[in-house]
Amino acid sequence: MNEFEARIRESFGRQTMMQTLGAELAKIDAGRVTILAPILAGSLQQHGAGHAGLAFSIGDSAAGYSALSLMPEGAEVMTVEMKINLMAPAVGDHLIAEGRVIRPGRRIMVVAADVWSVTADKRKHVAILQGTMIPV
Amino acid sequence: MNEFEARIRESFGRQTMMQTLGAELAKIDAGRVTILAPILAGSLQQHGAGHAGLAFSIGDSAAGYSALSLMPEGAEVMTVEMKINLMAPAVGDHLIAEGRVIRPGRRIMVVAADVWSVTADKRKHVAILQGTMIPV
Amino acid sequence: MNEFEARIRESFGRQTMMQTLGAELAKIDAGRVTILAPILAGSLQQHGAGHAGLAFSIGDSAAGYSALSLMPEGAEVMTVEMKINLMAPAVGDHLIAEGRVIRPGRRIMVVAADVWSVTADKRKHVAILQGTMIPV
Amino acid sequence: MNEFEARIRESFGRQTMMQTLGAELAKIDAGRVTILAPILAGSLQQHGAGHAGLAFSIGDSAAGYSALSLMPEGAEVMTVEMKINLMAPAVGDHLIAEGRVIRPGRRIMVVAADVWSVTADKRKHVAILQGTMIPV
């Protein structure tokens, strides 16, 4: 396990929101982090699909940790702003959020994430996020 | 209780994400809806403040219900996109999200929300949201 | 003329895009700057209304200068990100963009702007912007 | 020349803002449209780089026409909202904006664009846009 993976797993473990949502780190590469989450009975909107806040939360964390993977040891990451476009209802077996760094920078990191809903035989693109992270 | 308040309370009651976050409807007016949420031990980011997804979730729902309050009976509301700027850590006794309609429309509703953290003697502006809702 | 007004007028004078669009500084207060622009024959989209880029350009500059008004002397301002919701066609005698600082900060300034179209007897809210500025 | 290319060229020709900025259509495919623009002396911000409004304008138009390419004949396209993250100063020989459809829909089209600055021997990623288009 490389150095940034240890840092990311440690930080993720302190994000109690991720535990509440049942989310887990699925894949960690430099500049690219994937989070997987079930669509729990407690994460729904009024029509029975995953709440926008579920897709946002795992997309934001995946994007944030993709940024952290490129930051120097000892740094922590904070979301400055994040925008989400919701493209389809979050229904299926679970969600996958893939975060990535679009442009690393010392002061500002531009990040993005895709959120997919997954069933046994297909996956559907349910949301895209674009935002800004800073080291703190 | 006016007609849209009943509709909003009924829809909110089906958003299990709001129950998971401990959120409740605090005030319902035409075009303006306020949601209150504690900062639960299960809603935190890695530094012990409320997760961006908490502020997003209640801001998004407050904005969505402000839109629903101006939609015809029988309509339901869906988030097309939402952008959040995070301005301060979400720490305090609880959060308040005030959603409002900036421009109502038959096809498209432009909405906004402010999120405040509240302690016994002061409140702090922690996030602003700007987005688009559609009737479904 | 106070110190920040001189700085803003000098910087605005170097923004040749503002001259191309016929824009001018209409009002400068601490944390709040207004820009006025005609809807020139050369600023249109395909239906004959002002192009989204016109509302964006003056909204972005108004927001940026509202941030600059609160920055220390010698600082310059740069847009990190900006989001615009377009609410009505930009038609009328001219446009007014009112920029304001939502939250000042040493590293990050959160800003917003409203764009209005104005005719002899009424004004219409055509766009809202929400974004992030940094000192450079 | 296919049917949507004719429609896009005709619509682009009516966008006088594109002529003011010296922009031209460089490539038109289904769901993907590229616009090229010089960094004119009249398109600058205060530091001599291209104004945020230049990158926004060509990015927005490229994204809009990528959506129009997938709409039925007779439709026209309108920007509902657009967010831009600016990643580097717009300096170089010219800019290229590549717009694409992320998710087509009958009511709502989710689009994105990348803006690059180009010099003789390299290109630099200067901005990304993410937004919503609707047919009108």
Summarize pLDDT for C65-97 with one digit per residue, the tens: 999 999 999 999 999 999 999 999 999 999 999
Span C24-53, average pLDDT: 97
CA angle centred on B60, ends B58 and B62, rounded to 5°: 65
- One-letter amino acid for residue D58 of the chain: I
Span B87-115, average pLDDT: 97
Span A96-117, average pLDDT: 97
Nearest by CB to C128, which of B105, B125, B130?
B130
Q: Do B80 and D80 touch (CB under 8 A)?
A: yes
The pLDDT value recorded for residue D101 is 98
CA of B57, closest CA in chain C: separation in Å?
A: 19
| pLDDT (tens digit per residue) in B44-94 | 999 999 999 999 999 999 999 999 999 999 999 999 999 999 999 999 999
Strand B24-29 and strand B77-86: the pairing is unpaired
The pLDDT value recorded for residue D2 is 83
Span A43-70, average pLDDT: 97
CA angle centred on A56, ends B20 and B59, rounded to 5°: 65
How large a percentage of chain C has pLDDT more than 90?
94
Tokens matching residue A82: 């994040």
Strand D77-86 and strand D32-38: the pairing is unpaired
The pLDDT value recorded for residue A18 is 98
The pLDDT value recorded for residue A9 is 97
Report residue A41's pLDDT band, with 50, 70 and 90 as the boundaries: very high
Residue A2 has pLDDT above 90, yes or no: no
CATH number of B3-135: 3.10.129.10
Span D79-84, average pLDDT: 98
Strand arrangement of the beta sheet that strand C123-135 belongs to: C24-29, C32-38, C94-103, C109-118, C123-135, C77-86, D77-86, D123-135, D109-118, D94-103, D32-38, D24-29
Span D52-64, average pLDDT: 98
CB B76 within 8 A of CB B11: yes
- The distance from CA A5 to its chain's CA centroid, rounded to whole angstroms, is 15
Q: Do D83 and B83 touch (CB under 8 A)?
A: yes
Span C109-126, average pLDDT: 96
Residues in chain C: 136
CB contact, 8 Å: B81 with chain D? yes
Q: Is D70 helix (H, G, I), strand (E, B) or coil?
A: coil
Q: Is A114 helix (H, G, I), strand (E, B) or coil?
A: strand
Report residue C4's pLDDT band, with 50, 70 and 90 as the boundaries: very high
CB contact, 8 Å: B20 with chain A? yes
Q: Do B45 and A15 touch (CB under 8 A)?
A: yes
Strand C109-118 and strand C94-103: the pairing is antiparallel
Nearest by CB to A19, which of B42, B57, B61?
B42
Residues in chain A closer than 8 A to C134 (CB atoms): 107-108
| pLDDT (tens digit per residue) in D6-51 | 999 999 999 999 999 999 999 999 999 999 999 999 999 999 999 9
Regarding pTM above 0.90, the answer is yes
Tell me which residue has tokens 């559609």: B134
Report residue C2's pLDDT band, with 50, 70 and 90 as the boundaries: confident
CB D129 within 8 A of CB D82: yes
Q: Is B98 helix (H, G, I), strand (E, B) or coil?
A: strand
DSSP 8-state code for residue A87: -
Q: Do A132 and D85 touch (CB under 8 A)?
A: yes
Nearest by CB to B82, which of A43, A44, A84?
A84
Span C129-136, average pLDDT: 96
Residues in chain D closer than 8 A to A102 (CB atoms): 85, 87, 125, 128
What is the value of ipTM here, to two decimals?
A: 0.97
Residues in chain B closer than 8 A to C87 (CB atoms): 102-103, 105, 110
- C22 backbone φψ class: left, alpha, beta (φ>0; ψ -120 to 50): left
How large a percentage of chain A has pLDDT more than 70?
99
DSSP per-residue codes, D27-80 = EEETTEEEEEEE--TTSB-TTSSBPHHHHHHHHHHHHHHHHHTTSPTT--EEEE
Tokens matching residue A47: 């029509």
- D31 backbone φψ class: left, alpha, beta (φ>0; ψ -120 to 50): left
Report phi then psi at D17, rounded to 5: -60, -35
CB contact, 8 Å: B79 with chain D? no
CB A123 within 8 A of CB A114: no
